[in-house]
A and B are shown apart, each in its own frame.
Chain A
């Protein structure tokens, strides 16, 4: 299941194995049969590390979801809570433990905090009077989770909000810790570059932690040559734009979480007439999306306009290869044929080629003609895209946009409106006070006054702001970094701008320029972007200096603090594959995001809103 992690340039399976080993060790510490009570949020990230079978081998007999009230009965010796360090969860645990004691006094309680123990939580347990009931309080450091062969994620959803709204740097501490673990496994990373305040913090912490370990030296030959730390707030624009790669679009339309996409049952109801309908699913179906599926790996980073052609080509190759089975006569030939089976893995998951087929087909059709009302979903999609592209190219960003106005009048989803307004603000280096006031007023009147709180959050996060200086430096940044490419080639891309059909993500341009010709060439632009940029070196023991072969690629780990999109990942993979780039990229992030999930994480949830 995890084989796809070891195919990449860096064998990330080592990290997964380390995490599994630690999990086994913890489970063995609680001798005897056990039941795990899960903080539901954690099951997703844990799924990337271990299957139920591993837990079963270590005497986990039951698993429950954490809920208030009494624990379900289970004839086990140990009850282990797997939880995030959150106060509200502590209250539930306390309730569980309280109602338990009277019935079974023989069960042992344990808590495993993921990813860190928390003083605050332990204090809360103490206040509730249950801290003493726990035999074991431990932490399971799940900082960086291997997500795919070239991708690591902390699955830390609130990182951006915590860093930029609440100024809570805990997630940065976890990041630094995660990077230390990574270095323990893959060797010290000799060069560190960074841009942004959070990047600076993380680098400082790493250097400090390294000093604490001084005396013993890491003897592993470094796998990574360079680490690049990037703050999400250096590039607020990219996540706001609609991703136009296949995988990005799946994420925009259905949402990908912890590597899985949930698809509505209609997607699978296309059975032929006459077939029994009792097998039709009624619940959404979950599909795992990663490079283990070869066909998916091949098309996921393509622009959606190129997916149809790619699939068609692939279908031909597969059927041709398959015809060869008739020619296989000897045992050897059959073996040879069987060995090719992994290349025909499309056989296993019938959904990939057809996933999004309707969406993409209608989108592709409509990109060619001007449809007259009624407003269809795809027309709305293209109108939206047109406005986004206008903003990114700097057209009329200083006026109230009529499309946004119309969307508000039609009561389109609030997040869509916020994405667009924020985008306009970012592309204009802040909105004119009059324009900002107008948007705010319209939004509050249409969606409710309580959203004052959300608008304030967006201002604090820098996504929405009044123009303070009369100078809008976005055009300079756009021109210097070539953020807009007029002739983006979607079918056979020659530049990263294909991932947004014209817009080259700023974050990836920074990465590209760093590799060649270097940041010195863009000092002026770097100064316009928020936060410091810096370079640090970590000394290697003399024996560990790599002797580079002629033409051997270098490896850079790019860490996005505060989230990264699938389209950005696609752009980095594109750079890795470019023949003359000489650089391979491994990507790490606090969380995979898209504009919608990102804005949502910044909204002030009226949690206690009355029905």
Chain B
């Protein structure tokens, strides 16, 4: 669509297609609406032709009436109206733990005990799927590992306990894996976890990658962090161990505990680059805890903060410090320059952040100082790692006055861009000077009409137009 822009312009503006402008006042849409109303009225007359299911009614809540999600809300609401007592009283939290103590479950009962619910519920397909031949052996109970897996796959009972030798257990696992049924693989793994020593299990899993991945997934799901870490360590997957452990910091709410936990992560075997990032993470939180406490009262009173700085990203922290701690000596933890140094923030990021913070406070002198550099002769000039167009953008968003804006508009390098920005922000001098530099007499003449009559700008344009020295290009 970046192509043939002119064509598209023609197309969108051509009278042929102007009929559709998306505008509500547009003729055709009105006609469409009228016809719609009429169609509706006709439809009511011929209702019997309509399949009841065919017209979907939509309630104002947005859910189609009669859809399941709508009805869930609806019946729940009606229920609440009739039900005077609070809907969900808190139950004592210790009830579930009662059951946990009796975890001497036998896995086989899962498959054997509830025959009533699994075998009796042989489902029928519509139209019916043919039954596999293996089902005809239902009455035999001496299943081979392969048959056992097939039965489990069909959701039937099959005791695993009878497989006692390591060889049989592994056979069971291999058949489960080749059946690709994650559910069955997991069932076998639970059995192996219960009946094999960790060393043996880990060793065997190492040569069975699929089963291993399912086991890892199982441990993750059941939040068996300890065994999972042990497994990964045994496999030599040290980076995974490190990341997994690092991830735990997310569940620590207290900032001091979180910081201490991150500190303990520093010694974990991360990859070289991740290790540096985790170090930075720790350093950042450590600083944030200090910064959170400090600062001069006045500025916080004048601009109350909306949130705590704890656990915010680095750049947000930098912005915060540029806002509240800008002029602090470089030695302090909250000094922006100190942060820039400590975390090796790129020049561009630093400038954008500092600019945004100081502009927000309308501290135009700070903004000025940010871009001013001195060369060895002592002359000052303005330099920026980001385009001055972006600088103008940020300043304008923070409603900088024209005097401030024009300094930076004048520094925009591309003349066309400079002119359009200058016109927009009414920096007449810049427009005039740029046209002069471009030797564009016609444009300058045109611009004369846009400045105030009898103004200084008008006089300046006249002077230029009358200047015999300039070789105009038009």
A544 at the interface (CB under 8 A from B): no
A492 at the interface (CB under 8 A from B): no
* Total residues of chain B contacting the partner, CB 8 A: 141
B-facing mask of A47-78, CB < 8 A → 1, else 0? 10011110100000111110111101110000
On whether A52 and B71 interact (CB within 8 A), knowing A62-B79, A312-B17, A312-B19, the answer reads: yes
B53 at the interface (CB under 8 A from A): yes
B22 at the interface (CB under 8 A from A): yes
Pair B55/A348 contact, Cβ less than 8 Å: yes
B253 / chain A contacts, CB cutoff of 8 Å: 610
A-facing mask of B68-92, CB < 8 A → 1, else 0? 1111100110011001000111110
Pair A126/B348 contact, Cβ less than 8 Å: no
Pair B28/A312 contact, Cβ less than 8 Å: yes
B256 at the interface (CB under 8 A from A): no
A168 at the interface (CB under 8 A from B): yes
- State which residues 326-370 of B face A: CB under 8 Å: 343, 345-346, 348-349, 352
On whether A367 and B8 interact (CB within 8 A), knowing A64-B76, A286-B58, the answer reads: yes
Minimal beta-carbon separation of A436 from chain B (angstroms):
9
A170 at the interface (CB under 8 A from B): yes
- State which residues 236-295 of A face B: CB under 8 Å: 244, 262-263, 270, 279, 281, 283-288
Pair A126/B273 contact, Cβ less than 8 Å: no
For A2, the closest partner residue in chain B by CB is: B53
Given contacts A29-B121, A375-B393, A449-B313, 8 further A-B contacts (CB under 8 A): A123-B107, A123-B190, A212-B134, A315-B28, A346-B36, A372-B424, A452-B278, A501-B1
Among candidates A95, A205, A312, A347, residue contacting B36 with C-beta atoms closer than 8 Å: A347
B411 / chain A contacts, CB cutoff of 8 Å: none
Pair A315/B75 contact, Cβ less than 8 Å: no
- Interface residues of chain B, those whose CB is within 8 Å of chain A, are 1-3, 5-6, 8-9, 11-12, 17, 19-22, 24, 28-29, 31-33, 35-40, 42-43, 46, 49, 51, 53-56, 58, 60-64, 66-72, 75-76, 79-80, 83, 87-91, 95-96, 98-100, 102-103, 105, 107, 109-110, 114, 117-118, 121, 123-127, 129-130, 132-134, 150, 152, 155, 179-184, 186-187, 190, 209-210, 213-214, 216-218, 221-222, 243, 246-247, 249-253, 273-274, 277-278, 280-281, 284, 311-315, 343, 345-346, 348-349, 352, 386, 389-390, 392-393, 396-397, 417, 420-421, 424
On whether A181 and B129 interact (CB within 8 A), knowing A69-B90, A137-B117, the answer reads: yes
B311 / chain A contacts, CB cutoff of 8 Å: 448, 610
Assembly CA distance A344 to B37 (angstroms): 11
Pair A315/B20 contact, Cβ less than 8 Å: yes
B39 / chain A contacts, CB cutoff of 8 Å: 322, 341, 344, 347
Pair B75/A62 contact, Cβ less than 8 Å: yes
7 contacts between A and B (CB under 8 A): A51-B68, A120-B190, A134-B117, A308-B12, A325-B38, A344-B36, A446-B313
A534 / chain B contacts, CB cutoff of 8 Å: none
A218 / chain B contacts, CB cutoff of 8 Å: 130
B11 / chain A contacts, CB cutoff of 8 Å: 309
B61 / chain A contacts, CB cutoff of 8 Å: 283
For B109, the closest partner residue in chain A by CB is: A126
- State which residues 116-132 of A face B: CB under 8 Å: 116-120, 122-123, 126-131
On whether A341 and B43 interact (CB within 8 A), knowing A53-B66, A452-B277, the answer reads: yes
Pair B349/A52 contact, Cβ less than 8 Å: no
On whether A72 and B247 interact (CB within 8 A), knowing A406-B390, A490-B1, the answer reads: no
Assembly CA distance A364 to B397 (angstroms): 26
Pair A120/B186 contact, Cβ less than 8 Å: yes
Assembly CA distance A446 to B109 (angstroms): 53
The 9 A-B pairs of least Cβ separation, nearest first, read A129-B99, A312-B20, A170-B182, A69-B88, A449-B281, A285-B62, A347-B36, A167-B213, A52-B71
Pair B392/A373 contact, Cβ less than 8 Å: yes
- State which residues 461-520 of A face B: CB under 8 Å: 487, 490, 501
For B253, the closest partner residue in chain A by CB is: A610
Pair A315/B29 contact, Cβ less than 8 Å: yes
For A460, the closest partner residue in chain B by CB is: B240
Among candidates A316, A364, A446, A452, residue contacting B243 with C-beta atoms closer than 8 Å: A452
Minimal beta-carbon separation of B350 from chain A (angstroms):
10
Minimal beta-carbon separation of A268 from chain B (angstroms):
9
A329 at the interface (CB under 8 A from B): no
For A305, the closest partner residue in chain B by CB is: B1
Assembly CA distance A134 to B311 (angstroms): 45
Minimal beta-carbon separation of A66 from chain B (angstroms):
10
Assembly CA distance A343 to B438 (angstroms): 60
Among candidates B37, B87, B133, residue contacting A215 with C-beta atoms closer than 8 Å: B133
Among candidates A126, A139, A208, A373, residue contacting B393 with C-beta atoms closer than 8 Å: A373
Q: Which of A63, A91, A437, A440 has the most CB of B within 10 A?
A: A63
